[in-house]
């Protein structure tokens, strides 16, 4: 290490989005390398509303690898962190920062330790794919720090070894995770199908659903599905390959009707496989079912889909509206059934792009209370309200892929000490 002093700290900060699968990943053919049993397709969510920010630092003064998540130190000893670290380190190149007088050669990286600080701008435990954004940012920021000369798809194959769906967070817009064929996993990686500008009418509303059940982790859930579900292999081999082709077409043509039909059907089939697992896994609850039924009824009454729904390994609904006008009407419907608790104001009930409230003509709680029942239920029994069953909503849209933040003020580690700010 030909550096003038041992006191330097080199820092890189990056921001990486979450993503939501519209053709689902459920089941690994290789547990260790995280190789899936089928391709999957996702939409990247706008990092302005849902993202992970990660700062990585290297310094000869660090005596071990350390990591902080949301300000709290966590262990890096897990196999998944170690896999990503090892893969990135093995591809490291020479780094030189003349201004700071730093010179790191390829071989030095094996001896140098890193500090990593990561922060999610959304609740980590709320089932919002925090591990996808987290591992994507982990790999993306370390790759920059260590001057890894690989394209985004190659990096995605490394992020995949941290968390399968993380590979899809290396790109913005619409992303396909190709399952690949190689035993070593080298061809199991993400590619961009279209960027976030391609279909920018879409508006995404996430309903964060209150849950009283402890959920099965997706890692153990999908292991149990692979071992016990008699439907999973049929889905992976016979159903998904056709859906992947159809979904690629739907995205290419901005064909919302097909996009919505495929998205909803594939979410439901993923949950069907969970139910076919022994013991059965339930991720959706009565509130999730209610949201599906609101959307299905509305879509049916309109004759053509207005909104698609999809649910990951938890009860939260991700609702994709065909455009902003539809999103405003959707929000009205959702708030009619799921009004905020009287002690929370509307502003804290809608996160992300709050301007959707204006579009929906909702300035305050009074406007919510005055919402009429959706016309499509007119003939039915006076509708029940489900106050308290949704914790909050997030309004967002398809978004861009990872970016580096050059502004040092956004770093999570102190550039002098390499410790959390």
Query: Site residues (CB under 8 A) for a copy of itself?
Result: 212-213, 228, 230-231, 234-235, 238-239, 261, 264-265, 268-269, 271-273, 275-280, 282, 285-286, 289-290, 292-293, 296, 300, 384
SS3 state of residue 85: helix
Smallest distance, a copy of itself to C-beta of residue 14, A: 37
Smallest distance, a copy of itself to C-beta of residue 255, A: 17
Q: Which is nearer to a copy of itself, 14 or 313 (CB)?
A: 313
Rounded Cα–Cα distance for residues 24 and 40 (Å): 5
Smallest distance, a copy of itself to C-beta of residue 376, A: 13
* Cβ contact 304:257 at 8 Å: yes
Structure tokens given for 178: 């190709």
Q: Which is nearer to a copy of itself, 35 or 294 (CB)?
A: 294
Q: Using the 8-state DSSP alphabet, how is residue 254 labeled? A: T
Smallest distance, a copy of itself to C-beta of residue 300, A: 8
Smallest distance, a copy of itself to C-beta of residue 36, A: 19
Q: Which is nearer to a copy of itself, 110 or 238 (CB)?
A: 238
Q: Which is nearer to a copy of itself, 218 or 263 (CB)?
A: 263
Q: Which is nearer to a copy of itself, 318 or 362 (CB)?
A: 318
* Cβ contact 81:31 at 8 Å: no
Smallest distance, a copy of itself to C-beta of residue 54, A: 32
Place of tokens 């030189």: 96
| Phi/psi of residue 35, nearest 5 degrees | -110, 125
- β-pairing, 113-120 vs 66-69, is parallel
Closest CA to 308 of 41, 89, 82, 100: 41
Enclosing H/E stretch for 296: helix 286-302
Smallest distance, a copy of itself to C-beta of residue 146, A: 43
Rounded Cα–Cα distance for residues 350 and 364 (Å): 11
Enclosing H/E stretch for 356: helix 356-359
Rounded Cα–Cα distance for residues 65 and 219 (Å): 25
Closest CA to 218 of 121, 292, 311: 311
Smallest distance, a copy of itself to C-beta of residue 42, A: 21
Q: Which is nearer to a copy of itself, 17 or 315 (CB)?
A: 315
Rounded Cα–Cα distance for residues 89 and 84 (Å): 8
Q: Which is nearer to a copy of itself, 184 or 383 (CB)?
A: 383
Q: Which is nearer to a copy of itself, 152 or 225 (CB)?
A: 225
Structure tokens given for 237: 């081999």
* Cβ contact 155:140 at 8 Å: yes
């Amino acid at each position: 290490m030909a550096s003038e002093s041992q006191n330097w700290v080199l820092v890189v900060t990056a921001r990486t989005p979450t993503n939501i699968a519209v053709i689902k990943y459920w089941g690994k053919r290789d547990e260790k390398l995280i190789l899936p049993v089928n391709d999957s397709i996702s939409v990247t969510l706008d990092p302005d509303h849902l993202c992970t920010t990660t700062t990585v630092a290297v310094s000869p003064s660090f005596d071990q690898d350390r990591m902080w998540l949301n300000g709290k130190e966590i262990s890096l000893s897990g196999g998944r962190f170690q896999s990503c670290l090892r893969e990135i380190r093995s591809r490291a190149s020479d780094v030189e920062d003349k201004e700071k007088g730093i010179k790191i050669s390829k071989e030095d990286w094996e001896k140098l330790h890193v500090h990593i600080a990561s922060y999610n701008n959304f609740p980590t435990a709320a089932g919002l794919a925090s591990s996808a954004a987290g591992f994507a940012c982990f790999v993306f920021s370390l790759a920059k720090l260590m001057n890894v000369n690989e394209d985004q798809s190659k990096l995605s194959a490394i992020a995949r070894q941290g968390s399968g769906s993380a590979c899809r967070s290396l790109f913005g817009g619409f992303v396909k995770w190709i399952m690949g064929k190689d035993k070593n996993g080298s061809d199991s990686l993400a590619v961009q199908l279209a960027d976030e500008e391609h279909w920018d009418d879409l508006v995404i509303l996430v309903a964060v659903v209150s849950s009283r059940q402890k959920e099965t982790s997706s890692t153990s859930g999908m292991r149990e599905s692979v071992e016990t579900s008699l439907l999973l292999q049929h889905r992976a081999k016979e159903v998904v390959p056709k859906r992947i082709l159809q979904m690629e077409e739907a995205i290419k043509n901005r064909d919302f009707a097909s996009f919505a039909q495929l998205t909803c059907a594939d979410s439901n089939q993923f949950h069907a496989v969970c139910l076919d697992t022994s013991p059965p896994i339930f991720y959706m609850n009565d509130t999730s079912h209610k949201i599906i039924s609101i959307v299905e009824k509305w879509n049916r009454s309109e004759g053509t889909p207005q909104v698609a729904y999809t649910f990951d390994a938890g009860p939260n609904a991700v609702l994709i509206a065909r455009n902003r006008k539809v999103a405003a009407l959707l929000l009205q419907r959702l708030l009619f059934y799921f009004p905020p608790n009287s002690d929370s104001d509307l502003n804290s009930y809608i996160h992300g792009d709050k301007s959707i409230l204006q579009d929906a003509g909702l300035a305050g709680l009074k406007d919510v209370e005055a919402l009429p029942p959706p016309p499509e239920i007119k003939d039915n029994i006076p509708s029940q309200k489900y106050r308290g069953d949704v914790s909050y909503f997030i309004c967002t849209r398809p978004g861009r892929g990872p970016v580096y933040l050059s502004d040092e003020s956004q770093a999570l580690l102190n550039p002098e000490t390499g410790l959390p700010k």
